[in-house]
């Protein structure tokens, strides 16, 4: 019998946070349910895009923060 999985379960699967039994059930479901397989692949692609996203501020933002900080120190 295959368990019904939620979207949160799929996210846990994508991030490898499932038990061995759940992994087996996920793999079985992916073989028989095209919609589930598509959801898994979409979540996997999203995970890759998130990991590639730029997580540093632009130089412009850094300069604005530094300018603001300098202006505060001049006021004292």
pLDDT in tens, 25-47: 999 999 999 999 999 999 999 99
Query: What's the pLDDT score for residue 43?
Result: 96
Distance CA 44, CA 59 (A): 31
Name the residue ranges covered by the structural domains of the chain.
Answer: 7-75
Q: Is pLDDT of 70 > 70?
A: yes
Distance CA 70, CA 49 (A): 36
Consecutive H or E run containing 39: helix 34-52
């Amino acid at each position: 019998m295959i368990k019904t999985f939620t979207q949160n379960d799929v996210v846990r699967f994508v991030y490898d946070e499932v038990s061995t039994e759940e992994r087996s059930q996920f793999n079985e479901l992916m073989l028989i349910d095209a919609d589930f397989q598509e959801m898994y692949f979409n979540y996997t692609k999203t995970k890759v895009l998130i990991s590639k996203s730029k997580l540093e501020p632009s130089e412009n933002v850094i300069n604005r923060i530094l300018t603001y900080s300098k202006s505060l120190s001049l006021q004292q």
